[in-house]
Amino acid sequence: MKSDKVDMLAPGSVIGILGGGQLGRMSALAAARLGYKVHIFSPEADGPAAQVAWKNTVAAYDDLAALEAFAKSVDVVTFEFENIPAAAAEILAKQKPTRPSPRVLHITQERLREKRFLEKIGVPVTAFREVTTAADLPAAVADIGTPSILKSASFGYDGKGQVRIEAGMDLADAWKKMGGSIAILEGFVDFDCEISVIVARNTNGDVALFEPARNSHKHHILDTSTVPAGITNKVAHAAEAIARNIATEIDLVGLLAVEMFVTKAGGVLVNELAPRPHNSGHWSMDGAITSQFEQHIRAICGLELGNPARHSDTVMTNLIGDEVETWPQLLADPDVKLHLYGKAEARPGRKMGHWNRIKPKSA
């Protein structure tokens, strides 16, 4: 039974978003369609989100005076990426509802905390060891084995801060390439495929799940996400149950992307969490009844969650760097929906936009 509605924000309220990238941009557009105003807080003056927002604050995330003024101007706070100082979220949470909570941010922005939390709640994860110094790495490698993956414990994304460890390689050099002060060594998973499940949970504790997407990467950056994912019902149900459990146990209000490996034996292991809209959920903008961005806004504003069901088969493809120059050809295809992020300069490895190819739902 659903609990009574709480903290429902009326249209016209102001949503504060920490971060000015493309996820903030698409969240702001979704918020506007529901009648909300969006105030962006970012060190970047003309980022993708600022171009479509009601108001922008350009300041560092540790600027106390700017954070205080920002909090006074909004009704709820959220964030579009997790690599922001947890202290900033704590300051804001003392003044306005901050969703997801600073606790969720604290857990998910550091891989060791994240893995230990998942272990504690009984979620299957890859084998891992904490590595606090370069001198500790040989023992960890001996324990975990090779191949294995050395990752910076914090502030990593799109493959940054990661080094694959092979037998006989120079471990001191691997530590330098990793570049972090504390690391996690994870066992290598010879997986069948990578999937992700995006789960939403609102202030009433209601949960809605987007179906799993199959993800493929190029140069450690997501290339395509495909729904349906081409996995068995058993695997899909297991992945969805894991995502639901995590959302409940972490007391999520907002959106959480759960990245997973599907093993060749049909098992599911959680790789990473992202407490925000996620690149692998962009398919939902054109292939689902409710997009992940609208769902995020609904969740943090205390609204009823929308229907996340897929109405079309969809393949999402990222536009990285100069690939954005293919936009005329993409627009010439009637089955393609193009989303560009308003970034002025195309650089190698930079996400400039994405496109969704949709066709009638097959199953």
Work out the number of other CB atoms within 10 angstroms of the CB of residue 172: 12
Residues 270 and 50: their CA atoms lie apart, in Å, by 34
Q: Is the pLDDT of residue 207 over 90?
A: yes
Q: Is the pLDDT of residue 260 over 70?
A: yes
**CA 82 remoteness from chain centre:** 8
Q: Is the pLDDT of residue 247 over 50?
A: yes
Strands 183-187 and 148-152: antiparallel
The gap between the terminal CA atoms of the chain, to the nearest Å, is 30
Residues 149 and 187: their CA atoms lie apart, in Å, by 6
Ordered structural domains, the chain, with CATH: 14-108 (3.40.50.20), 127-187 (3.30.1490.20), 191-360 (3.30.470.20)
At 122, is the secondary structure helix, strand, or coil? coil
Confidence grade of residue 2 (pLDDT, cut at 50, 70, 90) = very low
Q: Which residues, 6+ apart, have CB-to-CB distance to 320 below 8 Å? A: 218, 221, 348, 349, 350, 351, 352
Residue pair 228/312 in contact (Cβ under 8 Å)? The answer is no
**pLDDT value at residue 158:** 56
Q: Is the pLDDT of residue 362 over 90?
A: no
Q: Is the pLDDT of residue 159 over 60?
A: no
pLDDT by residue (tens digit) across 96-125? 999 999 999 999 999 999 999 999 999 999
**pLDDT value at residue 156:** 57
Question: What is the share, in percent, of the chain residues with pLDDT greater than 70?
Answer: 96
**pLDDT value at residue 82:** 87
Q: 126-140, 142-156, 278-292, 345-359: which range is least confident on average? A: 142-156
